[in-house]
Amino acid sequence: MEPGAKPVAAKVVGATAGAGASDTRSARAAMVSKLRKQGVEDERVLAAMQAVERHRFVDSALSYQAYEDTSLPIGLGQTISKPNVVARMIELLIQGRSERPHRILDIGTGCGYQAAVLSHLSQEVYSIERLRGLHEKARENLRHFRLSNVHLILGDGMQGFPKGAPYAGIIAAAGGEAIPDAWIEQLAVGGRIVAPAQTGPGRQNLVVIDKTPHGVKQTVLEAVLFVPLKSGVV
């Protein structure tokens, strides 16, 4: 639990791995109303966050915390981002698009939660992970949902995934020194990248890159804290 985190509300305690969907629906509704208060406005994103059972992506010992505003360990030293961060990044990713984006590249599958949320919002999701253990865990976690539009790839996301390109959007849950050129190359014109990147010594910010017919525009947003983007597959 993060420092200063409050004990879990009684209704959330029902969110054990074995609990039925109805037991966790109200916990998700509480999470969604908190997201609204935190400034998430896109109804499509809020509906997707309401739909995806986050407790199925974390260890059963942690599932009672699944709907809290906290990041959680998912094994191999990695973490699943806070719901607030997931919602904020996806909201930025699809901002201003009235149609469902065609293809999204999700860098850092982790436990597969973000890929599942994205599957409700785009036509195809390509999600790439460099750690075999997590790639396999995500496959297991996602099996339950039978999401035919999520494609899991074991590979180095720093190279993007050229086979699925061009992407309407690229989103990363791990931050490197800079946004890799491969991502910009594989982005469609009119597409957007939302990712953490280093902006100074020990400083990481959320960065938005828009590829326009006139060139690439970068916007630096709030400071964030993501796990490092690393190269190679292990």
134 touching ligand SAH, by CB under 6 A: yes
**Given 110, 160, 169, 191, the residue binding ligand SAH (CB under 6 A):** 110
Element spanning 107, H or E: strand 103-107
**Given 113, 126, 161, 183, the residue binding ligand SAH (CB under 6 A):** 113
**Given 48, 80, 87, 224, the residue binding ligand SAH (CB under 6 A):** 80
| Beta-sheet strand order (sheet of 103-107) | 150-154, 124-129, 103-107, 167-172, 187-200, 203-212, 215-223
Q: Tell the residue number behind the tokens 């010992």, with chain if given.
A: 61
**Given 11, 25, 139, 230, the residue binding ligand SAH (CB under 6 A):** 230
Residue 159 C-beta: closest distance to ligand SAH, Å: 8
142 touching ligand SAH, by CB under 6 A: no
**Given 46, 70, 137, 157, the residue binding ligand SAH (CB under 6 A):** 157
* Structure-token pair, residue 228: 């490092």
132 touching ligand SAH, by CB under 6 A: no
Nearer to ligand SAH, 63 or 114 (CB): 114
Pairing label, strands 150-154, 124-129: parallel
Q: Which residues, in sequence order, are CB contacts of 152 under 8 Å at separation 6+?
A: 109, 112, 115, 127, 128, 129, 135, 138, 139, 142
122 touching ligand SAH, by CB under 6 A: no
131 touching ligand SAH, by CB under 6 A: yes
Residue 100 C-beta: closest distance to ligand SAH, Å: 20
Is the CB of residue 226 less than 8 Å from the CB of residue 81? Answer: yes
Pairing label, strands 72-75, 78-80: antiparallel
Residue 141 C-beta: closest distance to ligand SAH, Å: 9
Positions in 158-197 near ligand SAH (CB under 6 A): 158, 173-174
Is the CB of residue 82 less than 8 Å from the CB of residue 166? Answer: no
Is the CB of residue 42 less than 8 Å from the CB of residue 23? Answer: no
Nearer to ligand SAH, 13 or 182 (CB): 182
Residue 182 C-beta: closest distance to ligand SAH, Å: 10
Catalytic residues, by residue number, are 81
**Given 31, 45, 128, 165, the residue binding ligand SAH (CB under 6 A):** 128
In our burial notation (b when 16+ CB lie closer than 10 A, e otherwise), range 43-60 reads eebbebbeebbbbbbbee
**Interface with ligand SAH (CB under 6 A):** 74, 78-81, 107-108, 110-111, 113-114, 128-131, 134, 156-158, 173-174, 227, 229-231
